[in-house]
Amino acid sequence: MPAASRDPSQLPSRSFGDELRQLLRLGLPIAFVQFGMTAMNFIDVWLLGHHDRASMPAMALGNVLSWAFTVFCMGAVTATDPLMSQAVGANDRDAVPRLLGRGFLLSLVLTIPAALLLLPAASWLALFRQPTALIPEAATYARLQALGILPFLCYSVLRSLLSAHARLGPQVATIVLGNLLNLGLDWLLIFGNLGLPELGATGAGTTTVVCRWLMLFGLCAFGWRDLGPHLRQLQKRAVRKRAFALAPLWRLLKLGTPIGTQFALEMGVFAAVGLLVGYLDTLAGAEDGEGANLAGHQVALQFASLSFMVPLGLGMAASVRVGWAVGRGDAAAVRRSALVAMLTGAALMAGFMLLFLLLPGELAGLMVRHDEILAVAATLLPIAGVFQIGDGIQVVAIGCLRGLGDMRSAVFANVFGFWLLGLPLGSWFAFGLGLGPAGLWWGLVIGLFTVALGLLWVLRLRTNEPRTRLAVD
């Protein structure tokens, strides 16, 4: 793009303070959008927490299973992020429509197996020995999510393009309207208001799918000024031929596979913890569908997920800014962007740490009115407070490394920190020492800080190495 049309946040910074201002200018709207995406799930949990006692744990199980089969797809499609930002940094306008078309095609290719894996949801839940009474509604929720995978992935591709051009207004408008729509439809379908059927967790699942499709169309409408020129390029046969060529698509998938694997490893460990908490309810005889441990775990996880969106947004902004610097060949800007992003992420997460440590009961009380669930959530929230800074550091470091083109280091860090250390120790704490859900969460604390320290070390090495622009063409 011509220099005159660049957003101010795309210009190289000249000092620490300048970089901080530009990072926040880009990162806060991205964080708000990510916060809004999670707020939709937060609203689901909040309303289900005021429905019957079985609705929230059923939704929690269905949500765990649907994310388990979707998260790799989301990560793989995220490979368009550094490619877009580096192309914009290099002023390569011709590459953008090709990347856009390729991202859509990859989204379709990945959706098919993920959706098929969700069809036997009840069998998966039974295999993992979840509470029998929860399985029918949880399985229905998970199967519904198969209908929302494609719009979710395509939305991510369009978001990459808009973020790479520092166009954040359409994303903010879409997420605000999406949350309002989600709240209204939840109120109607969960509780059966205005004469509609009372569907509980199934109503929340239906709402999620409807909102994902409408948000995809909404982002296209609000962002058409920036998206339209690139989408119209795909009408040209020569552009489509290059965009949909199999060899570059395969290279994009190879580039995205480490990201998808890292997403699957990180979110997979939280899914594994959720299933183990559900198994604790099974061992406790929760065959009546109550599942207090699982519901309390879901409440605490929703707060941890909301706080996580802030450093995630900063990490995505750091990925873009680092990618711009790599595209320009500006090594000093790469190091400055990474340092400012890391310090900012840690500082913001310190605030959430204090909130979770000081007000666990009050926060849990906002979400649920059942005493047994409230007690579990209030026990887990301070543990979530302990891992806030580690969680923030690791996700911002991953964003910086992605902007540099390093997709693999996070995979190794996640395997060791979460799966070889955190989850085994957490399982021993929970089952061997009898700490229950709290033991599993202490395992997450150990895993997150291990991953964070490992990625900090790798990031220090990578920012002192010469980097070249990624390419799949």
pLDDT in tens, 201-251: 999 999 999 999 999 999 999 999 989 998 999 999 998 899 899 998 999
Burial 324-363 (b: 16+ CB within 10 A, else e): bbbbbebeebbbbbbbbbbebbbebbeebbebbeebbeeb
Q: Which of 176-185, 335-344, 388-397, 459-468 has the lowest mean pLDDT?
A: 459-468
Q: Does residue 2 sit within a domain?
A: no
Contact 293, 280 (CB under 8 A): yes
Residues listed for the chain? 473
Would residue 465 be called left, alpha or beta, if left means φ above 0 and alpha means ψ between -120 and 50 degrees?
beta
Q: Which among 26-30, 66-70, 93-97, 173-177 has the top mean pLDDT?
A: 173-177
Q: Is the pLDDT of residue 285 over 80?
A: no
Q: pLDDT: is 382 or 93 the higher one?
A: 382
Distance of CA 133 to the CA centre of its chain: 29
pLDDT tens, 384-429?
Answer: 999 999 999 999 999 999 888 888 899 999 999 999 999 999 999 9
Q: Which among 72-86, 89-103, 435-449 has the top mean pLDDT?
A: 435-449
Q: How far apart are CA 248 and CA 261, in angstroms?
A: 20
Q: Which two tokens stand for residue 407?
A: 């997709």
Q: Is the pLDDT of residue 183 over 80?
A: yes
The whole-number pLDDT of residue 94 equals 83
Full residue range of the structural domain in which residue 273 is found? 14-462
Mean pLDDT over 151-162 rounds to 94
Q: Is the pLDDT of residue 351 over 80?
A: yes
Please give the DSSP secondary-structure letter assigned to residue 12. P
Contact 444, 269 (CB under 8 A): yes
Q: pLDDT confidence of 68, banded at 50, 70, 90?
A: confident
Show Cβ contacts of residue 153 under 8 Å, excluding neighbours closer than 6 positions.
73, 74, 77, 106, 107, 110, 111
Q: How far apart are CA 128 and CA 120, in angstroms?
A: 13
Q: Is the pLDDT of residue 135 over 50?
A: yes
Q: Which two tokens stand for residue 162?
A: 């808009």
Q: Does residue 7 sit within a domain?
A: no
Residue with tokens 């604390």: 445
Q: Does residue 452 sit within a domain?
A: yes
Using DSSP's 3-state secondary structure scheme, residue 125 falls into helix
Q: Does residue 246 sit within a domain?
A: yes
The whole-number pLDDT of residue 3 equals 38
Q: Does residue 139 sit within a domain?
A: yes
Q: How many distinct structural domains can be found in the chain?
A: 1
Q: Does residue 135 sit within a domain?
A: yes
Question: Cβ atoms within 10 A of the Cβ of 440, count?
Answer: 30
Q: How far apart are CA 452 and CA 457, in angstroms?
A: 9
Show Cβ contacts of residue 264 under 8 Å, excluding neighbours closer than 6 positions.
71, 72, 75
Mean pLDDT of the chain: 89
| Nearest alpha carbon to residue 414 among 178, 129, 72 | 72
Q: Does residue 412 sit within a domain?
A: yes
The whole-number pLDDT of residue 372 equals 85
What dihedral angle (degrees, nearest 10) is formed by the CA atoms of 430, 451, 305, 135? Answer: -50
The whole-number pLDDT of residue 472 equals 64
The whole-number pLDDT of residue 38 equals 84
Would residue 131 be called left, alpha or beta, if left means φ above 0 and alpha means ψ between -120 and 50 degrees?
beta
Show Cβ contacts of residue 171 under 8 Å, excluding neighbours closer than 6 positions.
29, 30, 33, 159, 162, 163, 219, 223
